[in-house]
Amino acid sequence: MRCSAADAAFCDYVFVDLVVAETSGWEYKVPGIECSRVVYFENADGDASIKGHFTVVFEDTHSAVIREAYAVVHGNVMGHSTTAPSAPAIVEHDAAFR
């Protein structure tokens, strides 16, 4: 059930101007309330892909209710969730990532 909820949060996430190229499977903290995956984004310069992480935080250790979902690229929160409450606001990345 948590995997389906995490997949839905990922599919509903808006990565602003980044395009997802590949992802890894979900990694869970056990026991815990978080799961995360590595996400590779296309690089507009045609260079190697850009590596980031996508994290889903659940309400508690037995819940599939999502408290927040967010993506981090180069230490910056990127994009926003369209469905998860308390999702971080959009943070534009600087010119070094374009």
Convert the pLDDT of each residue in 8-33 to its tens digit: 999 999 998 899 999 999 999 888 89
Q: Distance between CA atoms of 96 and 62, rounded to whole angstroms? A: 40
Preceding peptide of 85 cis, ω within 30°: no
Farthest CA pair distance, the chain: 43
98, 18 in Cβ contact below 8 A? Answer: no
Convert the pLDDT of each residue in 63-76 to its tens digit: 999 999 999 999 99
Q: Which helix (H) or strand (E) holds 4?
A: helix 2-11
Q: Distance between CA atoms of 94 and 43, rounded to whole angstroms? A: 14
Convert the pLDDT of each residue in 32-86 to its tens digit: 899 999 999 998 888 889 999 999 999 999 899 999 999 999 999 999 888 765 4
Q: Distance between CA atoms of 13 and 52, rounded to whole angstroms? A: 14
